[in-house]
Structure 1
Amino acid sequence: MVDATDVEEGPELGRGGQGRVTTLRKLMGRPADGVVVKRYNPQVVPNAAALTRLVSWRRSLDVQQRQQLDAVACWPLSVLVERGRAVGTVLPLVPAGFGFWTGTPSGIRRFVLNELQFLVAGRHLLRRRGIPETTTADRLRILATFTEAVALLHGHDVVLGDLSLKNLLWRTGDEGPGIFLLDCDGLRLEGTDPVTPQSNSPSWADPAFPATQNQQSDAYKVALVVLRTLARDFHTHDAGTAGPTAGPELTSLLRSSLRRNPEARPSVSAWTGPLRSRAEAFDQIRKEGAFPA
């Protein structure tokens, strides 16, 4: 645990419904690089035992497992306490490459995180806002990396709970496709309580589990991420809207994963191979000049 009196916070990086995130200048009098602080809003009462459990679980992993986790998830590193009460958590800084600089109409440049919404948005909207576009193959590879990361977490009995347009980051570039999950203090281990009640972002709820979260509801939401990214549609639940971009195999997976019967849904790991294969197919089509990016 880290006492709030041992923390020197810097500028605010962002805020949401549960709290605000600030840079961390010093921790116990020493420079603190690569970490930030999330403080919960006064009306949010975190489950201190659950937050401690997440921190302890990460520390229980071996070196390789911890590196795999840290590469894809903004996992709590320590509990922030104030007068003996949990008030926040220390988190890793978002790695390089998960954002871009853009200009505002007033000429001010600002840094924007590469949130899922910018992977889903159509090219005309992106162009109007000066946001870099991705190719279809890029999007397919990012989705493959995402499903691989969720499968990794599921293999460790982690339940994601909520997925939204803002808590999944992505990148492309020389390092290859990458994803980074935010709000990981909202995740839980199977059979345990969450730090705060796990909610559903609007239009992301699983009809089979409207009032609870589990790995089956995760699988439903992962399918929605794939569908909405391929369809370039923020609200669709219809597998058919992915169109020819998905191809027969991915369309079949979409239909199976969005079924109301959760027992009939494939595991998240079933997505990764077909997504990569589809990306390779689009690479080949693009080389032959037979289809636009």
Structure 2
Amino acid sequence: MNPRTIPAVLDLSRLGPLPSTPDFDKAGESDGIWRVPAWPGHLFKRLNAEAARKLDITMLDRLVAQPQMLTDPGDRRLIDEATSWPASRIVDRGATIGVLTPEAPAAFSVSWLAKARTNPNRYGPIPVDYLAKPNAWLAERGIPQQSAADRAATCLSLARVACLFERCGIVYADWSYANAFWHPTQHIVYVFDLDGCSYGSRPHVFTPEFEDPLTPDRSPVDTYTDRYRVALLVGRMLTGKRRKDEVYAALGFMSGAVPQTLLRMLDAGVRTDRPSIADLTRSFGQAVPTARPADASGVVTWRPRQNHNVTRTPNPAPGSAAPTWRPRQNYRPRTPTPAPRPAPAPARAQVPVSRPVRPAPPRPSPPVPPSPPPAVTRPTQPAPSGGGAAGPVLAVLVLIVLVVLCAVAIF
């Protein structure tokens, strides 16, 4: 059944009667997994209470819709053949309780021994964990031994799936031995447990033996964490080694672009310096589309620019000095055509005659200072009448006559 023909949201009642005992026991975030006869080839994964409480419904709905937005037939085929992509969100009385996902194709089931010399033959998919073992270990369990070319082909199959996730902006985070199957003769993988994926970073997912030394515990995991974990898983599958130091040593003895790219992804001192999963895929000689697939909104998946930290400065309080501001580099206005800038005001001497000019209001006259008081002068005797030099001579003669008369009268 084509998973794209299944409604994006299904009520539990539409799954039909399910047995009380699940087909697969509870593990991780699930309370059990059931095969669903009403939807052949699909599994119902019922989430436990804690997982259901933390579930991001919007993110899950976006994952369910993602395959329908892919325009490249190769991407759609890869999702259908190599992933257990979520097909529907399951609800019960309005609450999300689980997810419907495809079961691994029957072609992945082969006969093998779960444990050497102790268990009878088992028929089913083989965990990718077993590829991270030497050929002698595989032979003990009845699994065909893998040549270097066989291992490289299987590694490329896994890298292509991880590359599609990266191109869609999806962080899988739980790359490990437990979440993929592989086929020992067709050299392909099948990745499952995708309902917990996120677009962009997500809370820390602890994965034993796959912890990133540059992503501290409890720090969010992101695409750079995925790069490290994918490189470690591919390195283990390629070399048949499990210990990190043995993987590094084995890759160091190999030649070619693949081991060199893996070592750069594992040894980078800065997370952002790690080559992308697309780079790893190209190192196998596989072409990678340059355009990112569209997401559930119908537009190309958008991710914020890395290392773009903007410090927002609050507006100054009224009455305070405004902070120094400089325009952002490479700023582009929101509108397609910027509004025309107003022409600068012409100088006064260049005002056209025909343009009306408002007369300037008269300036008030400066205040007149009060007059100083008149100077006070003493009154003077009026000058004797008679002009010229005769006046003083006559006065002297009169004075002499008076003196003579007084002297005669005395004597």
Where on the TM-score scale, by shorter chain, does this alignment land: which range? 0.7 to 0.9
Give the C-alpha shift of residue 106 in structure 1. 7.0
1:87 correspondence with 2:100: no
Q: Retained in 2: the 8 A contact 1:162–1:198?
A: no
Distance 1:237 1:257 in 2: 15
Give the C-alpha shift of residue 118 in structure 1. 1.1
Select the residue among 66, 77, 80 that pairs with 2:76. Answer: 66
Distance 2:274 2:252 in 1: 22
1:120 correspondence with 2:132: yes
Distance 1:225 1:107 in 2: 27
1:272 correspondence with 2:275: no
Code of the residue aligned with 2:207 in structure 1: it is: S
Code of the residue aligned with 1:40 in structure 2: it is: L
Select the residue among 94, 100, 112 that pairs with 2:110. Answer: 100
Say what the alpha-carbon RMSD is for the aligned residues: 2.6
- Counterpart position of 1:285: none
Distance 1:63 1:245 in 2: 38
For residue 261 of structure 2, give the secondary structure of its aligned residue in structure 1. Answer: helix
- Counterpart position of 1:249: 257
Query: Do the aligned partners of residues 219 and 123 (structure 1) sit closer, same or farther apart at CA in structure 2, a change above 3 Å counting?
Result: same
Distance 1:17 1:214 in 2: 21
For residue 46 of structure 2, give the secondary structure of its aligned residue in structure 1. Answer: strand
- Counterpart position of 1:280: none
Give the C-alpha shift of residue 101 in structure 1. 2.0
Distance 1:225 1:109 in 2: 27
Write out per-residue CA displacement over residues 147-169 of structure 1, whole angstroms, 9 at most, x where no aligned residue.
12211221111111111101122
Code of the residue aligned with 1:55 in structure 2: it is: V
Higher gyration radius (CA): 2
For residue 91 of structure 1, give the secondary structure of its aligned residue in structure 2. Answer: strand
Distance 2:251 2:167 in 1: 31
Give the C-alpha shift of residue 190 in structure 1. 2.3
Q: Retained in 2: the 8 A contact 1:240–1:251?
A: no
For residue 166 of structure 1, give the secondary structure of its aligned residue in structure 2. Answer: coil
1:209 correspondence with 2:220: no
Query: How does 1:182-221 map onto structure 2 within 5 Å?
Result: 182-190=192-200, 197=203, 199-210=205-216, 211-221=219-229
Gaps of 5+ in 2: 1-8, 287-411
Give the C-alpha shift of residue 233 in structure 1. 2.2
Distance 1:240 1:52 in 2: 40
Distance 1:242 1:47 in 2: 41
Query: Structure 2 length as normaliser, TM-score?
Result: 0.59
Code of the residue aligned with 2:98 in structure 1: it is: G
1:141 correspondence with 2:148: no
Query: Do the aligned partners of residues 169 and 118 (structure 1) sit closer, same or farther apart at CA in structure 2, a change above 3 Å counting?
Result: same
Gaps of 5+ in 1: 27-31, 278-293
Distance 1:268 1:15 in 2: 32
For residue 97 of structure 1, give the secondary structure of its aligned residue in structure 2. Answer: helix
Query: Do the aligned partners of residues 14 and 100 (structure 1) sit closer, same or farther apart at CA in structure 2, a change above 3 Å counting?
Result: farther
- Counterpart position of 1:75: 85
- Counterpart position of 1:284: none
Code of the residue aligned with 1:99 in structure 2: it is: S
Distance 1:17 1:73 in 2: 19
Query: Do the aligned partners of residues 61 and 244 (structure 1) sit closer, same or farther apart at CA in structure 2, a change above 3 Å counting?
Result: closer
Distance 2:97 2:26 in 1: 15
Q: Retained in 2: the 8 A contact 1:209–1:217?
A: yes
Give the C-alpha shift of residue 81 in structure 1. 0.9
Give the C-alpha shift of residue 125 in structure 1. 2.5
Write out per-residue CA displacement over residues 95-140 of structure 1, whole angstroms, 9 at most, x where no aligned residue.
2332322357676443232211111112232233333332221111
Give the C-alpha shift of residue 229 in structure 1. 1.8
Instruction: Name whichever structure is richer in strand by fraction.
Output: 1
Give the C-alpha shift of residue 59 in structure 1. 3.1
Query: Do the aligned partners of residues 106 and 270 (structure 1) sit closer, same or farther apart at CA in structure 2, a change above 3 Å counting?
Result: closer
Distance 1:63 1:240 in 2: 36
Select the residue among 14, 22, 28 that pairs with 1:17. Answer: 28
Query: Do the aligned partners of residues 246 and 16 (structure 1) sit closer, same or farther apart at CA in structure 2, a change above 3 Å counting?
Result: farther
Instruction: Name whichever structure is richer in helix by fraction.
Output: 1
Range 51-60 or range 161-170, more displaced: 51-60
Code of the residue aligned with 1:37 in structure 2: it is: F
Query: Do the aligned partners of residues 251 and 119 (structure 1) sit closer, same or farther apart at CA in structure 2, a change above 3 Å counting?
Result: same
Q: Retained in 2: the 8 A contact 1:121–1:232?
A: yes
1:230 correspondence with 2:241: no
Give the C-alpha shift of residue 217 in structure 1. 1.1
Q: Higher RCO, 1 or 2 (CA under 8 Å, sep at least 6)?
A: 1
Distance 2:246 2:220 in 1: 23
1:150 correspondence with 2:162: yes
Code of the residue aligned with 1:110 in structure 2: it is: R
Range 107-116 or range 46-55, more displaced: 107-116
For residue 207 of structure 2, give the secondary structure of its aligned residue in structure 1. Answer: coil
- Matched length: 266
Q: Retained in 1: the 8 A contact 2:143–2:184?
A: no
Query: Do the aligned partners of residues 146 and 83 (structure 1) sit closer, same or farther apart at CA in structure 2, a change above 3 Å counting?
Result: same
Distance 1:199 1:111 in 2: 31
